[in-house]
Structure 1
Amino acid sequence: MRQASPDDLPALRALARDALVHDPDAPAIVDLLWHAAAGGCRIVAETADTAEPADPAVVGFALGSLRPARDGQPATGHVDLLVVPAGHRGRGVGRALLAEVERRLIAAGAARLRIRGNPPTHAWPGIDIRYTPAACLAESAGYERLLDANNMVVDLAAAERDGFLATDADVRRLADLGVEVRRGEPADEEALRTWIEAEFGGSWAQECSTALRNEPPTLHVAVRDGAFLGFAAHGVQRVPVFGPMGTDGAARGLGIGAVLLRRCLADQHEAGVAVAEIGWVGPVRFYSRAVGARLGRVFWTFEKAVGA
Structure 2
Amino acid sequence: MRSATPEDLPTLRELASAGLIHDPDAGAVVDLLWSSAADGCRIVLERPDDDGNGTRVIGLAFGSLRPAHDDVPATGHIDLLVVGPEHRERGHGRALLAELERRLAAAGATRLRIRGNPPYFAWPGIDVRYTPAVCLATAAGYERLLDADNMLVDLAAADLATEDDERRLAEAGMGVEIRRARPEDEKPLRAWIEEEFGGTWGQEAAMALHNDPPRLHVAVRDGAYLGFAGHGIQRVAMFGPMGTDEAARGLGIGAVLLRRCLADQREAGIAVAEIGWVGPVRFYSKTVGATLGRVFWTFEKSISA
**TM over 0.5, yes or no?**
yes
Structure 2: tracts of 5 or more residues without a match: none
Q: Which amino acid aligns with 1:232?
A: A
Partner of 1:96: 95
Query: Could you list the per-position Cα deviations for residues 252-303 of structure 1 after superposition, in whole angstroms to 9, with x for gaps in the alignment?
Result: 0000000000000000000000000000000000000010000000000000
Q: CA deviation at 1:307?
A: 2.3
Q: Which amino acid aligns with 1:171?
A: E
Query: Could you list the per-position Cα deviations for residues 47-89 of structure 1 after superposition, in whole angstroms to 9, with x for gaps in the alignment?
Result: 11521x2411111000000011123211100000000012111
Provide the secondary structure at the position in 1 that maps to 2:21.
Answer: coil
- Runs in 1 of length 4+ with deviation above 6 angstroms? none
Query: Could you list the per-position Cα deviations for residues 211-260 of structure 1 after superposition, in whole angstroms to 9, with x for gaps in the alignment?
Result: 01111000000000100000000000000000000000000000000000
Partner of 1:64: 63
Q: Which amino acid aligns with 1:215?
A: D
Q: CA deviation at 1:7?
A: 0.7
- 1:139 and 2:138 correspond: yes
Q: For this pair of structures, how many residues does the alignment match?
A: 303
Provide the secondary structure at the position in 2 that maps to 1:230.
Answer: strand
Residues 270-289 of structure 1 correspond to what in structure 2 (within 5 A)? 270-289=267-286
CA contact (8 A) 1:50 1:57 kept: no
- 1:28 and 2:25 correspond: no
Query: Could you list the per-position Cα deviations for residues 130-151 of structure 1 after superposition, in whole angstroms to 9, with x for gaps in the alignment?
Result: 0000000000000000000000
Residues 106-255 of structure 1 correspond to what in structure 2 (within 5 A)? 106-159=105-158, 164-176=159-171, 177-255=174-252
Structure 1: tracts of 5 or more residues without a match: none
Q: Which amino acid aligns with 2:50?
A: T
Identity percentage of aligned residues = 73
**Cα RMSD (Å) of the superposition?**
0.8
Name the CA distance, whole Å, in 1 between partners of 2:61 and 2:298.
17
CA contact (8 A) 2:59 2:82 kept: yes
Provide the secondary structure at the position in 2 that maps to 1:207.
Answer: helix
Name the CA distance, whole Å, in 1 between partners of 2:216 and 2:71.
31
Provide the secondary structure at the position in 1 that maps to 2:156.
Answer: helix
Q: Which amino acid aligns with 1:45?
A: L
Name the CA distance, whole Å, in 2 between partners of 1:9 and 1:74.
31
Partner of 1:87: 86
TM-score after normalising by structure 1: 0.97
